[in-house]
Homo-oligomer: A and B are copies of this chain.
Amino acid sequence: MIGRLNHVAIAVPDLEAAAAQYRDMLGANVGAPQEEPDHGVTVVFIELPNTKIELLYPLGEDSPINGFLEKNPSGGIHHVCYEVDDIHAASKQLIEKGARVLGGGAPKIGAHGKPVLFLHPKDFNGTLIELEQV
């Protein structure tokens, strides 16, 4: 079912500093910050040759990243995102096999404008997994 690793998302406490680190210390190709008010995050994309890293910073008081940064003040890897061909088929199949899809199982439109869902990290080795239909 899963295909490419679409991205690894890293929550950071200082977006400008984190972007500068990846650009100046690690020599990566770092984009400009993009506000995603519908998702409560500001994102910086780091383009690697085979995938991308997304630096996530909270936008607004209801940001889904706030709780993570409270628990992990230095930041940390927030989730991995795997691509799927058909998000509805993936959701149905995963629920049938006993996985918990967050938010009731219905895919939503994610930060890239594509249908996504998230799987409960307790079902997957403490790892928050996003699936994105590409």
Q: A26 an interface residue at 8 Å Cβ cutoff?
A: yes
Residues of A within 8 A of B (CB): 1-5, 8, 10-13, 18, 21, 24-28, 48-51, 53, 55, 72, 74-77, 80, 82, 94, 97-99, 121-127
Q: Given known contacts A49-B3, A51-B5, is B125 in contact with A75 (CB within 8 Å)?
A: yes
Distance in Å from the Cβ of A6 to the closest Cβ of chain B? 9
A50 to B97, CA, bound (A): 26
Chain B residues with Cβ below 8 Å from A99 are: 25
- Contact, CB under 8 Å: A121 / B74: yes
User: Which of A25, A94, A121 counts the most chain B CB atoms within 10 A?
Assistant: A25
